[in-house]
Structure 1
Amino acid sequence: MLTILVANIKGGCGKTTLATHLAAASAASGLSTVLADVDRQHSSLGWLERRPDSAPRVVGVDWAKDITDIPRGYRRLVIDAPAALKTKQIEDLVKMADIVVLPVLPGAFDEQATQRFLGKLDELKAIAKNKKAVAVVGNRVRARTKAADRLDQFLGGIGHRVVARLRDSQIYADAAATGLSLFDMPGKRAAEQRADWDPLLACLDAV
């Protein structure tokens, strides 16, 4: 089972959007998928409650209080981590994961928090010795803006691979409201946005 940890200590950077989309993408590709919600706000589990029966099935588990065992037979586990993780929580979740996906928004506060989180990750032996990968994702990026240019400068100096940049779009809010993802939605608009995810999905498949 491939375990994907979506994490950053900065709130509001898009962790749940990434986690739900990665779970939906896995399910849409035919992989049996579990989505573990570690956040007490239960945003991922709320998304699953809104998810229609016609969409590819994703199984949700509540890890807000305790990390429980995953039933055998599943191919993908996506972990939606909360903000403000303590050092011990980071260590425990990274130990479980095969890869850490780290979303970062344009903006000085997000960059500062992300830098601190990457510093904590780099202290872990599995990360420092490249035994576990970190995939950084620029999120809600608006092309040809000063914020996007600043984000590119920041990402160029963090020392970890930047695998994708996801454009800012209202379609993500529309999908979240109905328990769906870009990978469940028909039409040209969704297809154009899905193309942003291709490098990240290829990175995960290569783990």
Structure 2
Amino acid sequence: MLTILVANIKGGCGKTTVATHLAAASAAAGLPTVLADVDRQHSSLGWLERRPGQAPALVGLDWAKDFSDAPRGTKRLVIDAPAALKTKQIEDLVKMADIVVLPVLPGAFDEQATQRFLTKLDELKRIAKKKTTVAVVGNRMRARTRAADRLDRFLGGIGHQVVTRLRDSQIYADAAESGLSLFDMPGKRAAEHRGDWQPLLSYIDGV
């Protein structure tokens, strides 16, 4: 079983969007996939409740209080972590993870929080020994803007691999409202945005 932790101590950076899309992509590829929601707001579980029956099946786990085992036969476990994680929570979740996917938005506050989180991650033995890898994702990027240029400069100097950059688009909100992801949606627009995810999916497959 490959375990993917989606985390950042900065709220509103798109963790749930990334977690639900990674889970949906795995399910669409035919892999038995579990989505574990650690956040007490249960955003990921709420998305699962809205998910139509004809979409590829996913199993949801409520990890807000306790961690429970994934069902036997699970191939992918995607963990949606809350913001403002305590050090012990970070340690416990990273111990489970093969990959930490870290979304970051353009903006000084997001960059500061992300840098603090990366510093904490770098202190953990699993990260230092490369037993758990870190994949940074630039999220809600708008081309040819000063904010995007600033984020690119920041991402270029953080010492961790920036795997991909996801464009800002209303399509993500539309998908979330219906319990769907880009990997469940037909049409050219969804296909174009799915291309942004391919480097991250290829990175995960290579771990």
Band the TM-score falls in, shorter-chain normalisation: over 0.9
Aligned to 1:141: 141
1:176-191 equivalences in 2 (<5 Å):
176-191=176-191
TM-score of the pair, normalised by structure 2: 0.99
How far 1:126 sits from its partner (Å)?
A: 1.1
Corresponding residue of 1:56: 56
CA distance in 1: counterparts of 2:172 and 2:147, whole angstroms: 20
Q: Distance in 1 between matches of 2:121 and 2:89?
A: 12
Q: Hey, which bits of structure 1, 4+ residues long, moved more than 6 A?
A: none
Equivalent in the alignment of 2:39 = 39
Q: For structure 2, which runs of at least 5 residues remain unmatched after alignment?
A: none
1:51-90 maps to which residues of 2 (within 5 A)? Answer: 51-90=51-90
Q: Which residue of 2 aligns with 1:151?
A: 151
C-alpha RMSD of matched pairs (Å): 0.4
Aligned length: 207
Distance (Å, rounded) in 1 between the aligned partners of 2:100 and 2:14: 14
Q: Distance in 1 between matches of 2:64 and 2:144?
A: 39
Deviation sequence 1:32-77 (CA, Å, 0-9, x none): 0000000000000000000000000010000000011112101000
Name 1:118's counterpart in structure 2. Answer: 118
Q: What percent identity do the matched residue pairs reach? A: 85
Question: 1:7 maps to what in 2?
Answer: 7
TM superposition shift of 1:97:
0.4
1:97 aligns with 2:106: no
* C-alpha distance in structure 2 between counterparts of 1:119 and 1:86, whole Å: 14
State the Cα distance separating 1:93 from its structure 2 match.
Answer: 0.2
TM-fit CA distance, 1:128: 1.3
**3-state SS in 1 of match to 2:102:** strand
> Residues 97-151 of structure 1, C-alpha deviation per residue, up to 9 Å, x if partnerless?
0000000000000000000000000000111122211000000000000000000
Distance 2:58 2:179 in 1: 11
Counterparts of 1:26 and 1:126 in 2: how far apart (Å)? 24
Gaps of 5+ in 1: none
User: Structure 2: how far apart are the matches of 1:174 and 1:88?
Assistant: 35
Higher mean C-alpha deviation, range 129-138 or range 30-39: 129-138
Paired with 2:162 and 2:124, the residues of 1 have a C-alpha distance of 20
State the secondary structure of the residue aligned to 2:57: coil
Give the corresponding residue for 2:131.
131
Partner of 1:25: 25
CA distance in structure 2 between the aligned counterparts of 1:179 and 1:79, rounded to whole angstroms: 17
What code does the residue aligned with 2:28 have? A
